[in-house]
Amino acid sequence: MAEGTVVVVGGTQGLGLEVARHYAAEGREVVLSGRDPARAKAVAAEVGGKARGIGLDLAEPAQLADRLAGIDQVAYLVLAAIERDENRVRAFDVPTATRLTTLKIVGNTEAVHVLAPRMDADGSVVLFGGRAKDRPYPGSTMVSAVNGGITGLVSSLAVELAPIRCNAIHPGIVGDSPYWSAKGEAALAPVRDRTPTRRLTTMQDVVGAVVFLLENRSVNGVNLHVDGGWLLL
């Protein structure tokens, strides 16, 4: 395993938090972030172990060098943040679309730019896209667009960062994640029915896949779909 800290951007809840919990339970130094430093610190205290919390806003990329200054050697970088805009093209909201696009494409890339010099050859990066890139849901217009953009970013970063590896995970609907579980069974049942495994992807399924992408030293430039085969039906 690579030496150094596991950095989880977007680690205060949902999938990022579960990744942070995994590595903290393994005794690793973990830095998790959210927009509000007080919330991030409180979540890190709840995670325990050697976790600490910091505040940063990926939609304000110019601030990232300063916000990430207190992190030394980085083993793994997980970019799990999202600020969903629930946008539709016929009622398009430019400010929220601009924030999401900046966050997922420019902000994620700037975080890699800032931290890559602190990673050695065994280090790796995992970006979060999502299957909304292929199967949109109502309001996912910009989510679908930026998750598609992650695919291209992975190809470029895997080449530019070499020998550091870069991969992306594209989950389907993660049924027990805060965003989707709040929508309830009416939203989730059709997804389960349309999935060959007849079950929804879980947060622990995603954690297992992220750990695989981060740690397997021959996996590079991969866009991994973790969705139970949802797009096959």
61 close to 106: Cβ distance less than 8 angstroms: yes
Which of 53, 61, 130, 228 lies at the binding interface for ligand NAP (CB under 6 A)? 130
Q: Which is nearer to ligand NAP, 163 or 208 (CB)?
A: 208
Beta bridge partners of 225: 170
Backbone φ, ψ for residue 11 (5° rounding): -105, 10
Alpha-carbon distance of 78 to 163, in angstroms, equals 17
Q: Which is nearer to ligand NAP, 28 or 131 (CB)?
A: 131
At 196, list the tokens. Answer: 């060959």
Radius of gyration of the chain, Cα coordinates, nearest whole angstrom: 17
- Other beta carbons within 10 Å of 140: 19
Q: Which is nearer to ligand NAP, 10 or 123 (CB)?
A: 10
The least CB distance from residue 167 to ligand NAP, in Å, is 14
The least CB distance from residue 147 to ligand NAP, in Å, is 6
Q: Is 230 in the site for ligand NAP (CB under 6 A)?
A: no
Q: Which is nearer to ligand NAP, 80 or 119 (CB)?
A: 80
Q: Which residues contact 92 (CB under 8 A, 6 or more apart)?
A: 141
Residue ranges that bind ligand NAP, judged by CB under 6 A: 10-16, 34-36, 39, 56-59, 80-83, 103, 128, 130, 171, 173-174, 177-180
